[in-house]
Structure 1
Amino acid sequence: MKLFFLCLLVVCMTSCYNVERNCTDFKTGHYYSEIIIDGSTFKSEFNRTDKLQIETYDGKIDSSEVRWINDCEVIFKTINPKNRIERKDIHLKILHTTDSSYTFEYSYVGEDKKQKGIAIRAK
């Protein structure tokens, strides 16, 4: 009987918490992003339209084609790759949104290792 109530409590607690994901609000716009990899923070700035994303990182500009899989997942394909790594497409998934930011995870298409970051709408 105790197990039944414990299971019921767990179900009730998890069903009340819904992660907000208004992904369509972030399909286009101007953003700043931060990613932490091995304790180092990497910051970039980017503009995204329906079909193109232009990102500035460390003084370098990179352009990618944008292809939305669904409202919360997108594939980026580098337009002019300079090496083998840049030829790999990137899969990004929006995990959580607020009114002015979103938390995401991304990886190269087909790879299991994922990184997380946050993007904040520029004012």
Structure 2
Amino acid sequence: MKIKLLLSLFCVILLSSCYNQERNCKDFKTGKFKFEHEINGKKQTTYFERNDSIEVETFEGKTDTSSIRWINDCEYILKKINPKNMQEQKAVHMKILTTNDNTYTFEFSIVGDNNKQKGTVTKIN
């Protein structure tokens, strides 16, 4: 009985480890998007539009433009074109982890920093 249970458990673990999350990153390389996040307990929304080389972001009525350098279909580096301070001069590494219909989950960090954060973006066109 124990051997059957162990064999069944092994098969479940083996099959679940073979499951890959869907990543259709090419569907999200260009378009209009929104990113909802929480800052100090308040829900905020950032809107952005991206083409192959530029991303224009609008947050709280302010617009910023960043250049995009694609590493592969699911990873890219964002760098502000007109940074206003030292923090904005730092490039950001973006990585799409999973995609689903019109959303994707991503992680991001300052290039060279191990502190990664995650979020979900919705494509709105």
TM-score normalised by the chain length of structure 2: 0.87
Runs of 4+ aligned residues of structure 1 deviating over 2 Å after TM superposition are 1-4, 6-9, 35-42
Residue 37 and residue 108 in structure 1: after superposition, are their counterparts in 2 closer, same or farther (change >3 A)? farther
Aligned equivalent of 2:117: 115
**Bigger Rg, which one:** 2
Aligned equivalent of 1:80: 82
1:47 CA displacement: 0.6
Q: Structure 2: any 5+ residue segments left out of the alignment?
A: none
Given candidates 14, 18, 37, the residue that maps to 2:17 is 14
SS in structure 2 at match of 1:18: coil
SS in structure 1 at match of 2:115: coil
Q: CA RMSD in A?
A: 1.8
| Cα displacement string for residues 48-105 of structure 1 (whole angstroms, at most 9, x for unaligned residues) | 0111000001111010000110110010010011101000000111011112111111
Aligned residues: 122
| Identity across the alignment (%) | 48
Aligned equivalent of 1:96: 98
Q: Structure 1: any 5+ residue segments left out of the alignment?
A: none
